[in-house]
Structure 1
Amino acid sequence: MPAILTLSLILVLALTVFPVLVLLLTSFRPRGTYGFDGDGFSLAHYAALLQQKEVVVLATNTFIYVAGTIVIGVLLAGFWAWVTERTDFRHKVSVRVLMLVTFALPSLVQGLGWTLLVNPSNGLVNLWLRELFALQGGEGPLNVYSMSSMVFISGLLLTPPVYVMLAGVIRHLDYKLEFPAVLAGVPPRVVFARVLIPILLPGLLSVLIYTVMLMIQVFDIPLSIGLTAGIQVFSTRVYLLSSSEMGPPEYNLAAAWGVVLVIVAIALVSLYRRMTRLSERFAVISGKSYALVRTRLGRRRYIVYAAGVVFFALALAPSAILAWTSLLPFYDAPSLEALQHVSLKNYSDLFESSMFRRGLVNTALMVLSGATLTMLLSFVISYTTFRPAGAVHKLIDTLAFLPIGIPQIVLGLAVLLLYVRSPLYGTIAVIILAQLSVNMVFAIRTLSAGLIQVDRNIERAAEISGVSRVNIMARVMAPIIKTQFFNAWLLVFAFSIRDIGIPLIFLTSETVVLGSALWLLWGYPNVPGAAALSVMLVVFLALFITPLQVYVSRLTDRASA
């Protein structure tokens, strides 16, 4: 297996280690020299970083934004996870489906939709509130361009992924652990605080740490709302320094910021892996003795119904207002008078735009080839590491896991610095490479989970028969885990098309994709055109992913039959 092992090591080094190494070197190089270029080292960029007056402000903004978002997202996700997994709520399947639907909506689209809804002057919600309460003045009472609005909106967007994680933790909680206390007449709130919370704590902490890593990477809402509000966090600061929006790019200073975030990421990854190992000691499922009893909601189900209507109305409202705006020559609140101006002109203008056509071709090339390449390379690496046999295997596994905590904007900057002097810079290929580095860790974890379930004797039988290692991978292992492969391919596809940070870092007239085109239209400003493109993105995702998801579901059903 030396050839496959060597290939895996080369892939991991090229896609994760070398970009981060170049980022580190750039942070110490004199201004204008990057990575292995130039001579000498200096701490000037770190000194400049510490001397910047906004460092404390950035740290405070990031902390408030991350902490506030996590509080809202975890509370909402925990509520719905408990309702769907531990109660007799009838519409739990509908909740799960709607959670996946809202998760599939691009965050940038959601941010732009919320801007139209809660704009201080003519946002639909503010217009309704001023009319309902007879408020004077032409602005408010709500302001989307504020930290509280960013936290609230991001909390709603964070709820679906956290719900998926928490639902799995709560679903596996054995009722027999609670039963003695319930039988003794202990109040439910005491049972929850003294019995359930300690049992769930390791799993909850691992989810919380992963969520912190996820939130440090968030870029879309701070970009679409925070920049206009004058509120910067670490991710937007790295973007601004590495783009031309504030003058010539400051790659060295941006690299210094990136190194700081990488150090934080490594600490969080180490803590996350420690907590996931610790959670295995608290396993509560033991075969046939496992029991799950659902709590009866009774009249409280009406409160749950009301909460569901409010939550999913808030989650889907941004897409609805964008769909309405896309039909108008300019933004206007829904009314009978506005119906007179409804047309499809914005869509026809969009299809006639050279930027849209180029972005569509680039996006198709980026997501299709990128997702496929990511899965193929990840399969090679995951096959190498899913049964570690030595120090090299474990090293590859550790290095492949590292990018999970590095903010995407930082990893994108690292890839940019690695290829800035190469012919690949300024082509769609470098965006594909950057997204490959970002998405590979997810693909490897998904495939490894499927490979672990394959009995070692299957490989041994093929080896005894003289089958080569490559043929074992292609003709034995690949067909067995094809369901996990296609499912992961779909998610990598969705992650790629939703990503806005990396395409913006590499943005040129030749590398524009639909996500960066959306940002350019919004900033032009061409609000109806941006709304039309937002709707096209959502429709494109739905039309492409839905039939493939049906196919994957059928594969799953056949595998379990």
Structure 2
Amino acid sequence: MVAIFGLVSFLVVSLTVLPVLVLLLTAFRPQGKLWLDPAGFSLENFVNLASQPGLGQLISNTVIYVGGTIAIATFFATLWAWITERTDFRYKVTVRVLMILTLSLPSLIQGFGWVLLLNPSNGYINHLLRTWFDLETQNGPINIYSLGMMVLVSSFLLTPTIYVMLSGIIRNMDYKLEFPATLAGVSPWRILLRIVGPILLPGLLSVFIYTVMIMIQVFEIPLSIGLTGGIQVLSTRIYLLSTAELGAPDYNLAAAFGIVLVVIALFLVLLYQRLTRESEKFAVIGGKNFRLVAKELGWRRHAVHGYAVAFFLLAFMPVLILLWASLLPFYTLPSVEALANVSFDNYRQLFSSSLFQRSLSNTAIVVVLGSTLAICVSFLVAYVSVRPVNRWCRWLDVLSFLPIAIPNIVLGLAVLLLYVRTPIYGTIAAILLAQVVVNLVFGTRVISAALIQVHPDIERAAILGGVGRLRIMWRVLVPILRTQIFNGWLLVFAHGMRDVGIPLIFLTTKTAMLSSALWLLWGYPDVPGAAALSVVLIVLLAAVVMPLQVYMARVDERNS
């Protein structure tokens, strides 16, 4: 067990602590010096950060983007959670499935779809609005390349995440807390403000803090929409400083910006943990007489149906417009006349291109091998933290949670700086290691939660029989926890397929992945090619995740 503890300690420190330490050292090195260079320490980079032109606008954009997105998404998600959990709405299961499907769509692809829908000159929705209202202008009336539209698009993408978190909170509210006020004739609005609101507030605050942590890391929508409109937020500024988009990379200044984001994220993590730790104070489910009462929609049913159709039509329109664009030799607005040009030529060209073949190969290696390595390390970390041999084991669990507090774009920069002067730099091995670091927290949380439910007596019996720890893990625990391990692997796999920030940070001619190839095609610009690759990426994700989930469900059902 001591040997396992030593191995896990080495893995956790090298994968999580070392990259952050390298980022910190780089931020305090003089301009142009990396962490291993023989140079002293300086605050020069933070002085340069404070004197950056447009810093106030950058902070303002970030605050408005994060705050506006969360506010709108919370409104939509709360409304949906209330409809599906507290009313007699007939299509609850359908809404839940559609929410999960929306959540699984890569954000960069949705961003590209919204650009095709709301491009000022030839966006399909803008074209419809100009036609319906007989507008004489050639552009607009909606401009996708604005901060307001960036907020609105991101709110659609964030709504399913908040819905998943809020639905459980609203479902667990006991109706008896509202019933006396209803009998007394108190208006629904007053019940909402004086009873329901205070009960939901702690849960809403924890959801708010968690979504702020998510939003300061969001990179795809600011990249696909914001950069074209000249709108930068903190995550895109770090990306631009870390790559050759604006000239030579400035790793020192990028590291300084990264440290600022890490400090903000760490504060939010501590606040989130404190709120969730004190959740018992706000428990509303008792041991008896707990009831869920569905409110009748009545005449509001038709309005809810209309809202559902409009919401999910808008949610899936980006994918539909990309599918349309992928079938045409050049992007044309949807029309009956354009059907004559529909073909699969873009897919044939895509499959025969060296960029696609190389990026598909790299993606398969990085995502499959990276997911497997991440789950293996996660299993070891979870085992040591749940079956501790000393007080330091708990700290390993805490350190494995560290990547959740670091935005992906910053973590990718940290790993890049760690390997920048090693043979690993410029290879897919660096991307693979970065993916393991990013996904370690997901795998550890999933497996730890399951391992807690396995009684140690099962292992003790094997130990008394002379079986070693590693063999116990492989022959006893892995079969017991196979479903949770498999679900963790799928979660990490899907995250790796969707991620854009890390592949772009490490992008070279040899390390292109499907997500970074998608960005290259879009920026070329090759809109039909990018649309075809978007569809292929969605199909690949669905073709792997859905059959494997069905297979595991059948295996579990057969074994149970």
**TM-score, normalised to structure 2's length?**
0.97
Residue pairs, 1:194-343, within 5 angstroms: 194-287=194-287, 289-343=289-343
Amino acid at match of 1:547: P
CA RMSD of aligned residues (A): 1.5
Take 1:555 and 1:510, find their aligned partners in 2: how far apart are those partners? 39
Take 1:177 and 1:466, find their aligned partners in 2: how far apart are those partners? 56
SS of 2:421's equivalent in the other structure is coil
C-alpha displacement of 1:189: 2.4
SS of 1:32's equivalent in the other structure is coil
Does 1:374 find its partner at 2:382?
no
**Residue equivalent to 1:96:** 96
**Residue equivalent to 2:501:** 501
C-alpha displacement of 1:234: 0.3
| Stretch of structure 1 that moved more, 187-196 or 517-526 | 187-196
Residue pairs, 1:547-558, within 5 angstroms: 547-557=547-557
Take 1:182 and 1:387, find their aligned partners in 2: how far apart are those partners? 50
SS of 2:248's equivalent in the other structure is coil
From the superposition, tell whether residues 343 and 207 of structure 1 become closer, same or farther in structure 2 (CA, over 3 Å): same
8 Å contact kept, 2:62–2:234: yes
SS of 1:186's equivalent in the other structure is coil
Take 2:385 and 2:35, find their aligned partners in 1: how far apart are those partners? 30
C-alpha displacement of 1:176: 2.6
Does 1:80 find its partner at 2:77?
no
Take 1:511 and 1:470, find their aligned partners in 2: how far apart are those partners? 35
Take 2:159 and 2:215, find their aligned partners in 1: how far apart are those partners? 12
Take 2:557 and 2:283, find their aligned partners in 1: how far apart are those partners? 28
Take 2:274 and 2:461, find their aligned partners in 1: how far apart are those partners? 36
**Residue equivalent to 1:150:** 150
Take 2:284 and 2:307, find their aligned partners in 1: how far apart are those partners? 31
**Residue equivalent to 1:174:** 174
8 Å contact kept, 2:178–2:195: yes
**Residue equivalent to 1:114:** 114
C-alpha displacement of 1:101: 0.8
Post-superposition Cα deviations, 1:168-220, rounded to whole Å, max 9, x if no partner, equal 22222222333333333332322222222222222221111110000000000
Residue pairs, 1:37-52, within 5 angstroms: 37-52=37-52
| Stretch of structure 1 that moved more, 460-469 or 35-44 | 460-469
Q: Percent identity?
A: 60
8 Å contact kept, 1:487–1:552: no
Take 2:354 and 2:177, find their aligned partners in 1: how far apart are those partners? 63
**TM-score, normalised to structure 1's length?**
0.97
Take 1:136 and 1:545, find their aligned partners in 2: how far apart are those partners? 47
Does 1:19 find its partner at 2:40?
no
Take 1:316 and 1:351, find their aligned partners in 2: how far apart are those partners? 25
**Residue equivalent to 1:418:** 418
**Residue equivalent to 2:517:** 517
8 Å contact kept, 2:169–2:200: yes
8 Å contact kept, 1:113–1:319: yes
C-alpha displacement of 1:387: 5.0
From the superposition, tell whether residues 325 and 72 of structure 1 become closer, same or farther in structure 2 (CA, over 3 Å): same
Take 2:21 and 2:62, find their aligned partners in 1: how far apart are those partners? 25
**Residue equivalent to 1:453:** 453
From the superposition, tell whether residues 556 and 216 of structure 1 become closer, same or farther in structure 2 (CA, over 3 Å): farther
Take 1:558 and 1:377, find their aligned partners in 2: how far apart are those partners? 29
Q: List gaps (5 residues or longer) in structure 2.
A: none
Post-superposition Cα deviations, 1:426-473, rounded to whole Å, max 9, x if no partner, equal 111110111111111111111111112223333333334443222332
| Stretch of structure 1 that moved more, 194-203 or 361-370 | 194-203
8 Å contact kept, 1:29–1:38: no
Amino acid at match of 1:258: G
Post-superposition Cα deviations, 1:381-422, rounded to whole Å, max 9, x if no partner, equal 011113556431221121111211211000000000001111
From the superposition, tell whether residues 531 and 209 of structure 1 become closer, same or farther in structure 2 (CA, over 3 Å): same
SS of 2:207's equivalent in the other structure is helix
C-alpha displacement of 1:493: 0.7
Take 1:183 and 1:11, find their aligned partners in 2: how far apart are those partners? 60
SS of 2:371's equivalent in the other structure is helix
From the superposition, tell whether residues 460 and 194 of structure 1 become closer, same or farther in structure 2 (CA, over 3 Å): farther
Amino acid at match of 1:229: G
Post-superposition Cα deviations, 1:82-129, rounded to whole Å, max 9, x if no partner, equal 111111111111111111111111111000010000000011111111
From the superposition, tell whether residues 248 and 97 of structure 1 become closer, same or farther in structure 2 (CA, over 3 Å): same
8 Å contact kept, 1:269–1:402: no
**Residue equivalent to 1:463:** 463
Take 2:282 and 2:388, find their aligned partners in 1: how far apart are those partners? 24
From the superposition, tell whether residues 289 and 36 of structure 1 become closer, same or farther in structure 2 (CA, over 3 Å): farther
**Residue equivalent to 2:71:** 71
Take 1:466 and 1:190, find their aligned partners in 2: how far apart are those partners? 66
Amino acid at match of 1:261: L
**Residue equivalent to 2:351:** 351
8 Å contact kept, 2:31–2:44: no
Take 1:386 and 1:162, find their aligned partners in 2: how far apart are those partners? 29
Post-superposition Cα deviations, 1:351-406, rounded to whole Å, max 9, x if no partner, equal 11100100110111111111111111101101111355643122112111121121
Take 2:70 and 2:336, find their aligned partners in 1: how far apart are those partners? 40
C-alpha displacement of 1:18: 0.4
From the superposition, tell whether residues 311 and 396 of structure 1 become closer, same or farther in structure 2 (CA, over 3 Å): same
Amino acid at match of 1:279: S
Q: List gaps (5 residues or longer) in structure 1.
A: none
Post-superposition Cα deviations, 1:10-44, rounded to whole Å, max 9, x if no partner, equal 12111111000000000111233222332211111
| Stretch of structure 1 that moved more, 246-255 or 381-390 | 381-390
Matched residue count: 560
8 Å contact kept, 1:202–1:278: no
Take 1:317 and 1:66, find their aligned partners in 2: how far apart are those partners? 24
SS of 2:140's equivalent in the other structure is coil
**Residue equivalent to 1:384:** 384
Take 2:537 and 2:253, find their aligned partners in 1: how far apart are those partners? 34
Take 1:453 and 1:171, find their aligned partners in 2: how far apart are those partners? 25
| Stretch of structure 1 that moved more, 460-469 or 422-431 | 460-469
C-alpha displacement of 1:222: 0.2
Post-superposition Cα deviations, 1:497-543, rounded to whole Å, max 9, x if no partner, equal 10011000000010001100110001001111111111111111111
Amino acid at match of 2:340: Q
Take 1:270 and 1:233, find their aligned partners in 2: how far apart are those partners? 24
Post-superposition Cα deviations, 1:24-74, rounded to whole Å, max 9, x if no partner, equal 000111233222332211111110000112211111000000001001111
Take 1:409 and 1:482, find their aligned partners in 2: how far apart are those partners? 32
Take 2:555 and 2:2, find their aligned partners in 1: how far apart are those partners? 33
Does 1:193 find its partner at 2:203?
no
Does 1:33 find its partner at 2:33?
yes
**Residue equivalent to 2:474:** 474
SS of 1:228's equivalent in the other structure is coil
C-alpha displacement of 1:342: 1.1
Take 1:558 and 1:184, find their aligned partners in 2: how far apart are those partners? 53
| Stretch of structure 1 that moved more, 273-282 or 415-424 | 273-282
8 Å contact kept, 1:214–1:405: no
**Residue equivalent to 1:141:** 141
| Stretch of structure 1 that moved more, 206-215 or 191-200 | 191-200
Amino acid at match of 1:400: S
Take 2:476 and 2:177, find their aligned partners in 1: how far apart are those partners? 42
8 Å contact kept, 1:379–1:447: yes
Amino acid at match of 2:261: L
8 Å contact kept, 1:65–1:151: yes
